[in-house]
Amino acid sequence: MGTGWERYGQPAAEAQAALVRLIAAEGGLTDPAWRLAFEEVPRHLFVPYYFVNRVGTYERLWCEDPDPIRRERWLRGAYYDGPLATRVRDGELISSSSQPSLMAGMLQALEVRDGDSVLEIGAGTGYNAALLSHRLGDSKVTSIDMDEEITESARTHLAAAGYRPTVVTGDGARGCAERAPFDRIIVTCTLPFIPYDWLAQCSPGARILAPLSTGLIALRVEDDGDGRSAEGRFLGTSAYFVALRGSGAVPERRVSGLPHRLAENDLFRFLLTLTAGSLEPREALSLWERERRPSRDRFGVTVRHGHQWAWLDDPQGPYSWPLGRTAEGPATAPRN
């Protein structure tokens, strides 16, 4: 495969090595296989341009800028441990390259094994698919996005880096039945609920890792005799992604009547978003204070028999809230 260093040489190699050291120093990349992937897949090939927010507008940095200082800024930014806005349409961010340290944590939390088949929801720049391909091989990786411009761009970036996983243009909420079954599903866009089509496309024992609310839910899929079910807890980390578009789009929730310090509190915002449609903001606040400001890893999600719900501490406990919609229609309360 190509290394991606030929044009930018030592500065790019040094920037990538520094990024890997930074992630490792913060406790990431403990799996040698994933560390090697981050060391050998050049991120700059996947972000030939990106946008920097400048007080209500976006400044474009790109690899072909005639100004050498701006080209240097572009290269430094490509290896910065932060998200990069890669597509902006009518002033709205529609696609980004995720923060590398968050990507590293998600890939390790995916718990892949040799031979696993992985579906990625949200192709983005193709960088995550390249890391997966490095670890598992091209034939084991499928990436899907509904925007044809994004998937075509991802294929181009992947080919430049020497990887050729399957990249599909389609509605990620519907999965990719023609490439099923999958042993792992990793999602790089925020969801309001878990699409039921994914469970049907999973092997028993499969793992789904997805941003939900402002956290990361890790679900184990099982065959319970009446169909597929899934259950799991949130990881402790926060996670902010561009919302899924298409049939699983995230509805916007407006918050009013609460002090700004509460509305913007990270853990409270997680609970508020997770219980949207079930609790009013002040009801969510009462629960949050009564339960001593619970961390994300006290919450979980169950998907079973056409219903799904979030819960606090125990899926059969007193605190549970329906998510999204049932397999047949609008959300209803779970039947425990």
Using CB atoms within 10 Å of the CB of residue 302, give its burial: 0 to 12 exposed, 13 to 18 middle, 19+ buried: buried
* Helix intervals (H) in the chain: 9-25, 32-40, 68-78, 100-109, 127-136, 148-161, 196-200, 260-263, 266-274, 281-290
Neighbours of 324 (CB within 10 A): 21
Distance in angstroms (rounded) separating the CA atoms of residues 180 and 129 = 17
**Which of 95, 153, 213, 320 is an active site residue?**
95
Question: Which residue from 130, 188, 135 is spatially nearest to 161, judged by alpha carbons?
Answer: 130
Residue 172's φ and ψ, nearest 5 degrees, are -60, -30
Taking a C-beta distance cutoff of 8 angstroms, is the pair 130, 156 a contact? no
Neighbours of 139 (CB within 10 A): 11
Neighbours of 226 (CB within 10 A): 9
Q: Respond yes or no: is residue 143 known to be catalytic.
A: no
Distance in angstroms (rounded) separating the CA atoms of residues 243 and 79 = 24
End-to-end Cα separation, the chain, in angstroms: 52
Catalytic residue set: 95
